[in-house]
Structure 1
Amino acid sequence: MGETEKRIETHRLRCLSKLKMFLLAITCAYVSKTLSGSYMNSMLTQIERQFNIPTYLVGFINGSFEIGNLLLIIFVSYFGTKLHRPIMIGVGCVVMGLGCFLQALPHFLMDRYEYESTVSVSGNLSSNSFLCMENGSQISRPTDHPSDCVKEVKSLMWIYVLVGNIIRGIGETPIMPLGLSYVEDFAKSENSPLYIGVIETGAIIGPLIGLLLASFCANVYVDTGSVSTDDLTITPTDSRWVGAWWFGFLICAGVNVLTAIPFFFLPKTLPKEGLKVNDEIIKNDKEEKQREVKKEKDGITKDFLPFMKSLLCNPIYMLFILISVLQFNAFVNMISFMPKYLEQQYGKSASDAIFLIGIYNLPPICIGYVVGGLIMKKFKITVKQAAHIGCWLSLIEYLLYFLSFLMICENSSVAGLTTSYEGIQQDLYVGNTILADCNKDCNCPSKTWDPVCGDNGLSYMSACLAGCETSTGTGINMIFQNCSCIRTSGNSSAVLGLCDKGYECSMMLQYFLILSVVSSFIYSLSAIPGYMVLLRCIKPEEKSLGVGLHAFSTRVFAGIPAPIYFGALVDSTCLHWGTLKCGEVGACRIYNSINFRYIYLGLPAALRGSSYIPAFLVLIILRKHCLPGENIPLGTIFEETKSTGKENECKDTLQNSKELNDEELKTKL
């Protein structure tokens, strides 16, 4: 008898260790998938410049992840639990690694990145052929070889990034639902929230690492190792700069593949944690699960239409979907293009912009989720109270959001674009004002973007257009002298790069970041109560379908289209487009920061403002509508359901709540 008990105890400890191994593995998987997602989102500007594509196309590439996710979500939702879940998760991680590798592949298939410049680094700098010379011939001309032009214009290397992002979305699909369900099935009911909390920690650590990695890669030149950085005439703050975007994708690919390895050694099923294990219990447990799976399979088609009809006729549920779609449209746009906004509005480099987003926005979001959950548990918030808390906190954050319209910087002063050569501000570049009396005889290229900053604080599109006749130094340290368009009492010299926007603009950036900290905290504080209203406004048997339909709607009507139409609106504010060898339009070099600000801040404000109409309707309906168990405090839902024998409903509520929290965090990042 003693030997039998010892064998059972040993088997129990072995199964317990396997559950802990799975917990560690799935946490690492969460870190890897959120690491890849946050890195991809931060590299959009670098990808735009590398492939010389417009912003709306970059938005489509970014939204392709959701397309890949939707391709498998139905299969995973209905058939995932019937297969070997750890192996499916491992395969998903490998697929994500393959997607990341495909995204980095164009770097190795393309030639070196060549930015447009009037200065020929490889040429003879002493010739000064890129400066103002009467009757001179400029070196920056469209190529004389049509074949090179056709090759460049028809280059579709960005499709690798698009396909890779779709594959990454496909691979990410099974990780969250199958990982959480595996823990739910084999962990103690009292340990399950703790385990899922540990898993969610990975979804917090991953984006932080991803943003730091993106900040580092954006500061390293794309062709580092094969090009001498001493010869470069651009810095990370230049709109032509492309960071080593491919390097981070290789790291993400390696991390995803490594996290997949443990899943292939984990069993399909485990005994329930804390129960005595013997062969008879395992056999009965398997038979019971097989009966449940068969029953569920038989009920899928039978219950689908009635459940759909019930959900579509549920006014609170449908209004909540409308609110989510409008809010997600606003936040997907803001987060996707925030690095570009900080670059154009405040003159920061892509590396600094990404780093600031990670430091200022991520911590308050995480703290807001934790505090929101603790408040609901401690004060035993009911459904109607949660609806009011979520609505009014969100409204307060929305009103604070309008302060960001005051934290502005003016357009960069570029002669011929935003100002005249006399330094007088003008709204937009209209007509051919690039040339002036001071440079009309210099035979300068009028489309090439190679800005210099003059002693007078005014920027010029090139040293030639500034009327500079001589130069000293090499690389980024070049100094141009005797510039006829720079009217100063001194030497009338200029240096490479746009002029700095000044101290006042730097202070405005600090105010904007502080406001974003407060706004992120308040909005994340309201997220948990809002989603609990979603979970409690539908019947328990409809929860799975209801949550799936909600996620499907937000992805189809927000996650996919929002970056595309928002990118097209951003493109409309471009003041000067880059020029390829054959004269075709490349990526935008400078935007009208005033119009950009109106679109970046104004469109989300309009979308969010319209979402409060259905939000107030929900509050009105809740006053007259009785929800199932609405008097049960949400903070004690797990204890209440356990004491009344509703373990399945409790499990479903917990799992769906965690899935939604993960989806919200992913969207915010």
Structure 2
Amino acid sequence: MSDDTKDPREVAPFLKESKLTAIDQKEQELEDARREQELSENLDDGKDITCGFWIFKGPTLQSFATETMYVTIYGIAGCFMAMCFAYFNGTITTLEKRYKIPTKTLGIISVGNDMSTMFASALTGYYLRKVHRPRWMGLGLFTIVIFCLLNCSLHFIYGAGEDALKLTRDHGAYQNLSGHLTSSQRDQKLCMNETSSCIQEDSVWVPQMILFLAQFILGIGQALFLVVGLAYMDDNTTKSKTPAMLSFSTFLRMLGPAIGYSLASLCLRWYIEPTAEPLIKPEDPRWLGAWWIGWLILAAMTALIAFVMTLFPKELPSSKARRLKYRKAGEPNTTVEMDFSLGYMWHSIKLLATNKVYVYNTIASILYFFGYMVYWIFTPKYIETQYQQSASMATMATGTVALGFSAAGVLLSGFVVSKYKPSARALAAWNATVDFLTVAGILGFVAIGCKGSDELSSMATVDGSCSVSCHCEYVHYAPICSPDNVTYISACHAGCTAKTKDQLERTLYTGCDCINPTNLTTGIELQYAVDGACHVDCFNQFLLFLGVMCFLKLVGASSKSTNLLIALRCIPPEDKSFALGLGSMVASLFGFIPSPIFYGWLIDKYCLVWGKTCSNKGNCWLYDTVSLRYALNLAAGTCILLGGFMNIVVWYHAKHLKIFDDEKAKSLEDITLKDLGSTLQLQKLDENI
């Protein structure tokens, strides 16, 4: 029988066998692919979970590849990063004086990190999802090292400066005491009969550009460290341990501002040129502390922790073991691929724009940030100006004294929310209450003035017509004190013509025609002045201000978690990351970036004495303290008051918002790391709280 006439019953077994063979072949291909994948994973196990690189690896080092060790190192690194932010804020006034930078310009410089962080965070979160994340975190920390070295480099490029060196014994600023002064001394101190020439100096733009570049680089390093680090923590820690891990790392990071301000206070007690003997004390407004030393310390510490961070493996062994166990158990993959198309993004924005709780809560946060930013950045300068405290004392009070109150506020609010599980309306009502209490405290700042400090501002116009012929426009700020306890900007402004020393080795200026001898029994013979500003005692007012500031720290920190809970619960889970990211960007655009610039401009507006040079207005030496106190605090209070009204609107619309589940109440610790890592507002608060 030919093949064409075969019985179908004879052909069927061959067809069935052929079909079974194809199925078996397909199954065999799938099995081979699975085994190949498992083999690939097993081959990668040694590489992905191995600590260290090059010669820096081994069994001893591998024993540290644990969740607890990572969270500890991550928290310490975050502490060092927060120290850098705090140290910069603590040395702002010294940078102003040394490099003759207006406050508005320093405000622009300080937002450089916000600009770069805002854009770098989005790119980092999108492109660095499957890389060796600990090494990228280490790169981010090394970037912060560059930030520290760039700041410090200014001192090695420009030195201590002529103004600072003239106030040291080693450079002989006051050695010629016979009354026959050199031309340089006459230009700087005494009344002249002809117009003085302006002060020549190096380019003032180079230091400002270096400082801005350093801040911009800091923002990139911050984005690399925070975004990648939080994602690594979320992927490599047990979910049940997440709250404890998060709390521990946050606690370590909160130590950063206190340590950073303390380091700034310590460094500012030393003169800018440590090898020279200064002729003035730290309380003198002309004192320049050794601001640059702290950057060397911070650079060394950050470099060390950056190296340690790079030693962590691509994936922790415990995490990989759990992942393989879940895969073998056949658990489904719950990872949701996000749609990054512009259409989906625009659709999400429109949905969020109709979410009234989200919109008003975001506006309230921005108004609070905008109003309170001036106290986060310029509090040391405010204390120095209003209460005549040294830069070291102002920095210490800002960073360390109030830390305990901030920590107490965070812990207390966390306990109350976790225990009593208040409703959304209760949380919004507390946020509004905090805003109104903050406004009340700010009004207290307005009332807490110092009469002696306010009287100093009058020295800029004392007998101004008298010193017109002395041509003092470009004379350096060098205050002197008359016998009737009036401070003059300089000996030139007092019309002095000679200089000598008394029996107490104090520098005296004599022949001061502009000093009014009225009510002095001995007449014109007392037209002299002592070097240095007249003593002003504002310590009691300073303590009162400090007490109000601690109160504001306490209540302000207590609203941090309540505001975040509303932000997390008012949006659907699938839109949470995008909503928080969008809120962070909006907060940066309208809060974090413009507010330092605005307040810097406002502070400069009330300057009475500028350190003028040939090419620059320079820094401000003396402010109208009364007007500045009113304008600065009322502007900040107005913004926060508007934020309080926005929280009332949130309270009205939050009537149906559920903060906790009915079946199983979620405590404050149930906020996931991805929720926290999606917003830069939290990091900004941790730096300044």
Q: Tell whether the structures are fold-level matches, with TM greater than 0.5.
A: yes
Per-residue deviation, residues 435-488 of structure 1 (Å, max 9, x unmatched): 43xx78878777432111123211122234445544216999424456552634
CA distance in 2, matches of 1:579, 1:129: 26
Per the TM alignment, residue 80 of structure 1 is displaced from its structure 2 partner at its CA by 2.9
Measured at CA, do residues 535 and 453 of structure 1 come closer, stay the same or move farther in structure 2, by a change above 3 Å?
same
Partner SS state of residue 450, structure 2 = coil
| Pair 177,288 (structure 1): closer, same or farther in 2 beyond 3 Å | farther
TM-score by length of structure 2 reads 0.81
**For residues 436-447 of structure 1, what are the structure 2 equivalents within 5 Å?**
436=466, 447=475
Structure 2: runs of 5 or more not aligned: 1-58
Name the residue aligned to 2:325.
281
Identity %: 24
- 1:598 alignment partner, one of 607, 615, 630: 630
| Distance in 2, Cα, partners of 1:519 & 1:634 | 30
Range with greater deviation from structure 2 (23-32 or 590-599): 23-32
Q: 2:683 aligns with which of 653, 656, 662?
A: 662
Q: Distance in 2 between matches of 1:446 and 1:93?
A: 44
1:593–1:282 CA distance, 2 compared to 1 (3 A) = same
Deviations 1:354-410 (A, max 9, x none): 111123322211110111101111112232322222222332333233222221123
Question: What is the match of residue 361 of structure 1?
Answer: 402
Note the C-alpha offset of 1:125.
1.1
More displaced, 402-411 or 40-49?
402-411
Show the counterpart of 1:646.
none
Aligned to 1:172: 222
Shift of 1:90: 0.7
Query: Could you tell me how far apart the structure 1 residues matched to 2:369 and 2:451 are?
Result: 29
Change (3 A) 1:137 1:26: closer
Aligned to 1:199: 249
Contact 2:417 2:668 (8 Å CA) reproduced: no
Query: Map of 1:619-634 to 2, 5 A cutoff?
Result: 619-623=651-655, 625-627=656-658
Tell me if 1:296 matches 2:337: yes
CA–CA distance in 2 between the matches of 1:560 and 1:187? Answer: 34
Does structure 2 conserve the Cα–Cα contact (< 8 Å) formed by 1:411 and 1:593?
no
Cα distance in 1 for residues equivalent to 2:681 and 2:236: 21
Partner residue, 1:498: 533
| 1:418 alignment partner, SS class | helix
Mapped to 2, the partners of 1:409 and 1:37 lie a distance apart of: 30
Query: In structure 1, which of residues 226, 248, 255 is the aligned counterpart of residue 301 of structure 2?
Result: 255
Q: Distance in 2 between matches of 1:475 and 1:566?
A: 43
Per the alignment, residue 464 of structure 2 pairs with 434
State the match for 2:105 in structure 1. Answer: 57
1:540 aligns with 2:540: no
Corresponding position: 1:25 with 2:58: no
1:197-222 CA-partner distances (Å, limit 9, x unpaired): 11111211111110001111222222
Say if 1:379 and 1:635, in contact at 8 Å, map to a contact too: no
Find the partner of 2:269 among 189, 208, 219: 219
**Letter of the aligned partner of 1:453 in structure 2?**
C
1:528–1:661 CA contact under 8 A, matched in 2: no
CA distance in 2, matches of 1:126, 1:371: 62
TM norm structure 1: 0.83
Counterpart in the other structure of 2:501: 472
Alignment match, 1:409: 450
* d(CA) in 1 for partners of 2:663, 2:147: 45
- The Cα offsets for residues 610-669 of structure 1, whole Å up to 9 and x where unpaired, read as 11222111111123x445867578653777xxxxxxxxx856456669x75433222x34
Partner SS, residue 163 of structure 2: coil
Change (3 A) 1:633 1:332: farther
Matches of 2:212 and 2:395, distance apart in 1: 22
Separation in structure 1 between the aligned mates of residue 483 and residue 196 of structure 2, nearest angstrom: 37
Distance in 1, Cα, partners of 2:595 & 2:421: 37
Aligned to 1:396: 437
Tell me, in whole angstroms, the C-alpha distance in 2 between the residues paired with 1:515 and 1:358: 15
Q: CA deviation at 1:76?
A: 1.8
Q: What CA distance in whole angstroms lies between the structure 2 residues aligned with 1:476 and 1:589?
A: 26
Q: What residue is the counterpart of 1:125 in the other structure?
A: 176
CA distance in 2: counterparts of 1:299 and 1:117, whole angstroms:
58
**What is the letter of the counterpart of residue 245 of structure 2?**
Y
Counterpart of 1:8 in structure 2 is: none
Instruction: Report matched runs for 1:8-23 at 5 Å.
Output: 17-23=65-71
Matched, 1:190 2:243: no
Question: SS of the residue aligned with 1:495?
Answer: strand
Q: Return the match for 1:265 from 311, 319, 335.
A: 311
Please point out which of 565, 570, 576 is paired with 2:598.
565
Q: Secondary structure at the match of 1:585?
A: coil
Moved more, 568-577 or 169-178: 169-178
Q: Which residue matches 1:636?
A: 667
SS in 2 for 1:245: coil
Task: Report the Cα distance in structure 2 between the residues aligned to 1:113 and 1:474, rounded to whole angstroms.
Answer: 31
Contact 2:423–2:658 (CA<8 Å) still a contact in 1?
no
Alignment check: 8 A CA contact 1:372 1:525 kept:
yes
**Structure 1 residues 269, 297: closer, same or farther in 2, change over 3 A?**
farther
Cα 1:299–1:460 shift into 2, 3 Å: closer
1:87 is displaced (CA, Å) by: 1.1
CA 1:288–1:164: 2 relative to 1, 3 Å: farther
CA RMSD of aligned residues (A): 3.7
Name the CA distance, whole Å, in 1 between partners of 2:173 and 2:533: 23
Measured at CA, do residues 213 and 76 of structure 1 come closer, stay the same or move farther in structure 2, by a change above 3 Å? same
Q: Distance in 2 between matches of 1:385 and 1:653?
A: 22
**Cross-structure match for 1:160:** 210
Q: How far 1:145 sits from its partner (Å)?
A: 10
For 2:82, the equivalent position in structure 1 comes to: 34
The residue type equivalent to 1:662 in the other structure is: Q
How far 1:117 sits from its partner (Å)?
Answer: 11
Deviation at 1:336, TM superposition (A): 1.2
Q: Deviations over 1:212-250 (max 9, x none)?
A: 01111222222222xx224x4x43333333222222122
Task: Map residues 302-341 of structure 1 onto 2, 5 A cutoff.
Answer: 303-341=344-382
User: 1:395 is matched by which residue type in structure 2?
Assistant: F
Aligned residues: 618
Query: What is the CA distance between 1:113 and its match in structure 2?
Result: 0.9
Separation in structure 2 between the aligned mates of residue 584 and residue 153 of structure 1, nearest angstrom: 9
Distance 2:159 2:330 in 1: 57
- Of 77, 80, 83, 2:125 maps to 77
Kept in 2: contact 1:536–1:630 (CA 8 A): no
- Residues 54 and 587, structure 1, Cα contact 8 Å, conserved in 2: yes
Could you tell me how far 1:182 is from its partner in structure 2? Answer: 2.1
Distance 1:298 1:307 in 2: 11
- Contact kept in structure 1, 2:262 and 2:400, CA below 8 Å: no
Deviation of the 1:303 alpha carbon: 4.0
User: In the alignment, residue 49 of structure 1 is paired with which amino acid?
Assistant: K
